[in-house]
Amino acid sequence: MADYQAPLRDMRFLLNEVFDAPTLWQSLPALAEVVDAETAEAILEEAGKITANSIAPLNRSGDEEGCHWQAGEVTTPAGYKEAYRLYAEGGWVGVGGDPAFGGMGMPKVISAQVEEMMNSASLAFGLYPMLTSGACLSIHAHASEPLKQKYLPNMYAGVWSGSMCLTEPHAGTDLGIIRTRAEPQADGTYKVSGTKIFITGGEHDLTENIIHLVLAKLPDAPAGSRGISLFLVPKVLVEDDGALGERNALSCGSIEHKMGIQASATCVMNFDGATGWMVGEPNKGLAAMFTMMNYERLGVGIQGLSTGERSYQSAIEYARERIQSRAPTGPVAQDKVADPIIVHPDVRRMLLTMKALNEGGRAFSSYVALQLDIAKFSDDAEARQRAEAQVALLTPVAKAFLTDMGLESTVHGQQVFGGHGFIREWGQEQLVRDCRITQIYEGTNGIQALDLVGRKVVGSGGTLYQAFADEIRAFIADAGSELAEFVDPLQAALDNLDELTAWVIDRARANPNEIGAASVEYLHVFGYTAYAYMWARMATAAFGKQAQDDFYQSKLGTARFYFARVLPRVQSLSASVRAGSESLYLLDAARF
């Protein structure tokens, strides 16, 4: 596997030339003091170093060794503890955290780039800090002041980590049917009892305490998802002076043996009357969880991109070196017995597809991160509301499309290696295995598609969609005629998505099955169209600078490839959407 190199040039291009993030930061009072172009540059460069030098080298050994469970204790692979300490001491766990509690206070568009680097270096490693920052977000937004004071500083500092305990053996997608109970106590605490499964980082040896956020039901809770509350349940109880006290009544029953992310501990957690504190209001636990979900879901989308990027870096190096057969148009490497495989059209197709999907995904995730920043930091209520609406619409697309495209990229990256991609030595097969979970957890991609079509598009009567489409239309109207080669296909894709959206909204009125039948393919049409918008914006920023730097030439060439060879996928996907639900219900369950 090629040594990982953080794609800093592309990140700088997006921040400074495509989205002009520094101007936005200056306009947001909470950020103007904290970040500018130079700070961002320094942070990204440092993140690039630590992820490449200290984390990436553990990716393969972590996969081979995995985690070990013995008598309730989980040991992470060799080297993890030291790397985690280094990462925590650098302040990286709290990169997006509130400075009032010791966080770095960086906007999401910066922490998203750091997350990309960390997950490219090692997805399994990246999950430990990611779950911690997710838990911090919920605590920060919903917990009482004393709970924040007690827990956030050590969590941002990486001294304690976090976990999110939602899933139970019988309740994954449908959290309304969870059975974990929380009994109120006279002193205001709760006794939490139940079993949670698949808990990432539920137990490990990286930190001295683990702060679990647990969904549970109060004794008198209403049935379903309206009766769920959220509790903070530490592994080790914390005294009033902040010192660690007794072990809480919870334990890790076992860890899962799984397809990928072997170095990430996926735990069965047993809560046996463990002491917990309520976060937020009774029966509003799911809403409290949703605060962090937009951030987490974007983070999982970025994990897909990260594995695709890592796979591409190895594939391009291999394709330049591996020699097999001659180019169809005659020998290129005259001094060798065969040409490097990068001469072959099919190998170029795979590499360019990876490059176009990775760079499009990086642009799209940065765009969504900027919307999250406006929604969080703007003091203009209207701008905040607009950004919130964009985030609501685009989050399921970012989670599902980036991970679906991430898997496609890792499979292309494996294929470029031929048989060597299937064996372990080169590391390409690990990326395929690791990436696969990103389509499943944090709400399966099928559920993301339902959220997009059912709640966001149909549920808003198309208004959320219209706002995004209007922004693209305004961009097209402003583009000069020299950009027609990018803007015309974008316009055609948008017209198609407009029609498809109207079609889905109309059909959903008559038959509720139409939403689920259309959802996954509709999300893909949406995703390819959103990437086309990103590629048109990137092409606009690169246009006219080709002579300055190869980077811009590469950008424009990749944009042309995207419009010519990838965007046309929307045609067949749209035809599938328009076929409707009928053919899905021709067989009864017994005839499948």
Ligand X SMILES: Cc1cc2nc3c(=O)[nH]c(=O)nc-3n(C[C@H](O)[C@H](O)[C@H](O)COP(=O)(O)OP(=O)(O)OC[C@H]3O[C@@H](n4cnc5c(N)ncnc54)[C@H](O)[C@@H]3O)c2cc1C
- Rounded CA-CA distance 1/60 in Å is 9
Nearest to ligand X of 515, 570 (CB atom): 515
- The minimum distance between CB 297 and ligand X, in angstroms, equals 11
Q: Does 124 bind ligand X (CB under 6 A)?
A: no
**What single string gives the DSSP state of each residue in 286-299?**
HHHHHHHHHHHHHH
Q: Does 444 bind ligand X (CB under 6 A)?
A: yes
DSSP state of 77: P
Among 63-71, 99-107, 376-384, 444-452, the segment contacting ligand X (CB under 6 A): 444-452
Catalytic hit among 115, 442, 514, 521: 442
DSSP state of 246: E
Q: Which of 347, 335, 340 is nearest to 323 (CA)?
A: 340
Q: Does 253 bind ligand X (CB under 6 A)?
A: no
β-bridge mates for residue 217, sequence order? 181
Q: Does 447 bind ligand X (CB under 6 A)?
A: yes
Asked if 501 and 462 count as a contact pair (C-beta separation under 8 A), the reply is yes
Q: Does 266 bind ligand X (CB under 6 A)?
A: yes
The kind and range of the H/E element at 501 are helix 484-510
Among 25-33, 148-156, 193-201, 364-372, the segment contacting ligand X (CB under 6 A): 193-201
Nearest to ligand X of 101, 441 (CB atom): 441
Asked if 140 and 147 count as a contact pair (C-beta separation under 8 A), the reply is no
- Residues 364-393 interacting with ligand X (rule: CB under 6 A): none
Q: Does 450 bind ligand X (CB under 6 A)?
A: yes
- Rounded CA-CA distance 102/154 in Å is 9
Options 165, 255, 352, 505; binder of ligand X; rule CB under 6 A? 165
- Rounded CA-CA distance 209/234 in Å is 7
Q: Does 119 bind ligand X (CB under 6 A)?
A: no
- Residues 458-517 interacting with ligand X (rule: CB under 6 A): 516
485 is catalytic: no
Q: Does 195 bind ligand X (CB under 6 A)?
A: no
Nearest to ligand X of 332, 447 (CB atom): 447
Q: Does 167 bind ligand X (CB under 6 A)?
A: yes
- Residues 199-218 interacting with ligand X (rule: CB under 6 A): 199-200
Among 198-206, 284-292, 569-577, 580-588, the segment contacting ligand X (CB under 6 A): 198-206
Q: Which residue is nearest to ligand X (CB)?
A: 172
Distances in whole angstroms, Cα of residue 527 to Cα of each of 97, 159, 567: 30, 38, 10
Exposure string for 336-368, b = 16+ CB within 10 A, e = fewer: eeebbbbbbeebeebbbbbbbbbbbbbbbbbbb
Provide the 3-class DSSP secondary structure of residue 217: strand
Residues in contact with ligand X by CB under 6 A are: 164-167, 172-173, 198-200, 258, 266, 437, 440-444, 446-447, 450, 516
Give the residue numbers annotated as catalytic, written as ranges: 442
